[in-house]
Amino acid sequence: MKVVVEYFKDIFGGIKTLITGMKVTGKYFVSPSEIVTQQYPENRETLQMFDRFKGEVIMPHNDKNEHKCTGCGICEMNCPNGSIEVISKWEIVDDKKKKAIDKHIYHLSMCTFCGLCIKTCPSKALAFGQAFEHSVFDRSQLTKILNKPNSVVTKDLKE
């Protein structure tokens, strides 16, 4: 008798789990608002990339044209395929020679978007940007200088 009860328990338990599964997919089927597909070229104007999207490496500048890069070169050392070149210069601040960034050269054409430069930057000067339409007609346009012209290191670098 116990076997028979187990048998029918099996059947109804099985049906219950099947219905649970079908409920989930059925709910997705009738909720078009949850569709994640982007109709890309058509919705180009309104397309919002996710915050975590790794489009390209950028160096954020504040409104006073200041960035946080000290030119230490840690990002260059950590880059696995040499996409970053840091060219530093010596500046005289308060009668003291101080190392500063001259050009932060970034080769987008070689970058694998591993994010090691951003992770290891001690002053959090680098970040990932959301731009992804990188196609250009000339390869040289993919080599970018990340610090803007005439930009300086921000004064409040401490934290």
Pick 8 or 137: Cβ nearer another protein:
8
Distance of closest approach, residue 43 Cβ to another protein, in angstroms: 12
If binding is defined by CB under 8 A, does position 47 make contact with another protein?
no
- Let me know: does 153 contact 64? Beta carbons within 8 Å: no
Q: Binding another protein by CB under 8 A: which of 1, 24, 92, 93?
A: 24
* Cα–Cα distance measured from residue 22 to residue 26, given in angstroms and rounded to the nearest whole number: 6
What's the token pair of residue 58? 């950028």
**Which of 2, 128, 116 has its CA nearest to residue 55?**
128
If binding is defined by CB under 8 A, does position 11 make contact with another protein?
yes
Dihedral of alpha carbons 33, 36, 40, 45, sign: positive
Measured torsion, CA atoms of residues 111, 105, 149, 71, in degrees rounded to the nearest 10: 110
Distance of closest approach, residue 22 Cβ to another protein, in angstroms: 5
User: Which of positions 25-44 make contact with another protein (CB under 8 A)?
Assistant: 25-26, 28-29, 32, 34-37, 39
Q: Using CB under 8 A, list all residues that contact another protein.
A: 10-11, 18, 21-22, 24-26, 28-29, 32, 34-37, 39
